[in-house]
């Protein structure tokens, strides 16, 4: 009888371990290294960051930029990196390709940069001891910003803007040029139309 009660007690205590779901995450790229020397004021589309749900339940994920202490490289500001989408849900085994865009400000400091592009569940995993465990997977990101004078940086910023919003911005620029020409002609030339 004691063995039977002991066996039932063990089964009851082990049940939460057997039914607990596992949360997992993975990224499909270990390193993103931009070989091209980047210029301040420009925007760059970086390689896609695949985020994988390697757990066994539907999970909500977020992609962020993270840093590591004690590295000699500069840290890119969080607002320089834009993820599309930033948060999303994945079924077990499902992969989400996240678009990564790097927007360098006009006054970006020249030098070598390093950061982690990290995917992690929004919900923390509960360990066997009942403690919350934060899990994440990350890809290392390296890039170099070359020095540029302020005029070159503004040129690159405008050319990037033009490339992103073409052809809409061409129509706006054409309209502004037309208005300027009409204003300049009215200011510098006098027209008189005589009636007969």
Q: What is the DSSP string of 16-39?
A: HHHH------EES-SEEEEEEEE-
17 — pLDDT class (breaks 50, 70, 90): very low
Residues 36 and 125 in one domain: yes
36 has pLDDT over 60: yes
Residues 141 and 159 in one domain: no
Where are the extended beta strands (E) located within 39-122?
A: 43-52, 59-66, 81-84, 87-90, 95-103, 111-121
Predicted confidence (pLDDT) per residue in 118-133, tens digit: 888 887 655 555 544 5
For residue 116, being part of any structural domain is answered with: yes
162 has pLDDT over 70: yes
Closest CA to 34 of 108, 101, 83, 119: 101
For residues 163 and 133, the model is more confident at: 163
Total count of domains within the chain: 2
108 — pLDDT class (breaks 50, 70, 90): confident
CA distances (Å), origin 85, targets 18, 177, 192: 34, 37, 60
Taking the C-alpha atoms of residue 115 and residue 178, their distance in angstroms, rounded to an integer, is: 46
Kindly report the CATH number assigned to the domain that includes residue 104. 2.60.40.10
Domain that holds residue 51: 2-148
């Amino acid at each position: 009888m004691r063995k039977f009660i002991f066996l039932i007690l063990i089964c009851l205590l082990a049940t939460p371990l057997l039914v607990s779901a596992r949360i997992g995450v993975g990224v499909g790229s270990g390193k993103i290294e931009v070989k091209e020397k980047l210029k301040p004021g420009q925007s760059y589309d970086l390689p896609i960051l695949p985020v994988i749900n390697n757990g066994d339940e539907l999970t909500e994920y977020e992609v962020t930029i993270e840093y590591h202490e004690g590295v000699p490289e500069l840290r890119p500001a969080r607002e320089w990196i834009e993820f599309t989408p930033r948060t999303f849900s994945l079924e077990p085994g499902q992969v989400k390709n996240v678009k990564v865009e790097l927007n360098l400000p006009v006054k970006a400091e020249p030098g070598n940069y390093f950061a982690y592009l990290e995917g992690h569940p929004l919900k923390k995993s509960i360990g066997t001891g009942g403690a919350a465990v934060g899990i994440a997977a990350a890809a290392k990101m390296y890039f170099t910003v070359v020095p540029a004078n302020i005029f070159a940086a503004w040129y690159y910023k405008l050319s990037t803007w033009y490339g992103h919003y073409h052809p809409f911005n061409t129509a706006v620029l054409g309209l502004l040029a037309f208005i300027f020409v009409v204003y300049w002609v009215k200011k510098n030339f006098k027209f008189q139309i005589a009636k007969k």
